[in-house]
Chains A and B, each alone.
Chain A
């Protein structure tokens, strides 16, 4: 639990302060979503749902959006990621990449749908092509690096 809270705090600091210089065209990877994926691989779907909800709530608290927006998507993503981690080979980089891409894009589309429900219809094309797709690509790329780091380290150790 302590590790989870520490991870959540680090995630919040990195997302709001440290990642700013690394934004590409104003887009930053969604570290909160990566934390959801990371946590979901190690716990049951029920716990992943609750932790996803907490992570999303924290992200909403630091964002200008309605409270509950990311809590909705992250609890769903936590549940799905935890369920899928038993069926998908999450030790394979390509599987991880597709999982992250699909998850991030899915979270983006759900966010868009919820926003259009609560705030009125947004401009779809810019939202998809300048926000959802770049964010999904950037998040998946960073996620792939993080997820594959232990494997790279193990390969290097074997080679040594």
Chain B
């Protein structure tokens, strides 16, 4: 026993390095199939410790940004005023067009009212931080389990799907964006109703995979959530196909996807806390507001 201790002490450096590497590897192994309690606990401790500071820092940064913006605004006010006069004329023309569109919208709204209204409930949250690495695409929100946020709740922006909640602490929540490499969202090509899986791609946006080879998918096709998998309600806008790849010998074709939401500039998002099981209200009209 003492011989072993002497041996370990002699090779202390190698023992510590090997121990650290093995412990890291073991921690990763624990998460392959399901999240272990020790992993969840460690993550929650880190999140719970850092999130108050994150909120303060974000508030400080936004305050400083506002002061800077006000200063810049003052300097540019004169040029802005001149430019705005020109824009007023352009906007007047736009107003005429929008009035025409408003009448059309009113007609469509009457048609939509005939459909069963969705009773989905949303919780608005502010983005207080982004992923600490460039490898994964997650954001931190200022709402947590105290406000009713739970794992796997869908997160939306006015333009469409953002992702889903993957971790929750009492005061904050971590959201996996749809461009995250380990994210997978059931997608549906709106025009041809072809289904596939939308997932992130390391360093290169999002892709729609597992599209049948003979499926009719072209550049410009809009993709919405398919509702399969039980996490995301059907019909939430996901993005638009910007390229289609058909490799020879491959069993499926793939499409590059431009997300409907600009995920790099998110400031506020909506967490879908209580969707209806067969919520048809998302389709066609985009995401609902609370």
Contact = CB atoms under 8 A, between A and B. Distances in A.
| A-B interaction | yes
Nearest to A124: B202
Contacts of B260: none
Contacts of B28: 66-69, 72, 114, 118
B47 A131 contact: no
A58 B134 CA distance: 15
Contact of B176 (A64, A68, A70, A72): A64
Nearest to B129: A16
B174 A66 contact: no
Contact of A111 (B21, B135, B140): B135
Interface string A42-81: 0001100110110011111111111111111001100100
Contacts of A79: 13, 17
B57 interface: yes
Interface stretch (B37-45, B83-91, B115-123, B273-281): B37-45
Contacts of A72: 20-21, 24-25, 28
Interface of B: 12-13, 16-17, 20-21, 23-29, 31-32, 39, 42-43, 45-47, 50, 53-54, 57-58, 61, 128-138, 140, 166, 174, 176, 180-182, 201-204, 264
A49 B16 CA distance: 7
Contacts of A64: 131, 136-138, 166, 174, 176, 180, 182
A67 B202 contact: no
A75 B17 contact: yes
Residue with the highest number of chain B CB atoms closer than 10 Å, among A26, A46, A63, A115: A63
A63 B61 contact: no
A122 B202 contact: yes
B46 A61 contact: yes
Interface in A88-122: 111, 114-115, 118-119, 122
Given A67-B42, A71-B20, 9 more contacts: A17-B130, A32-B132, A52-B20, A61-B43, A61-B50, A63-B133, A67-B43, A75-B24, A131-B202
B27 A50 contact: no
Contacts of A27: 134
A70 B130 contact: no
A125 B105 CA distance: 46
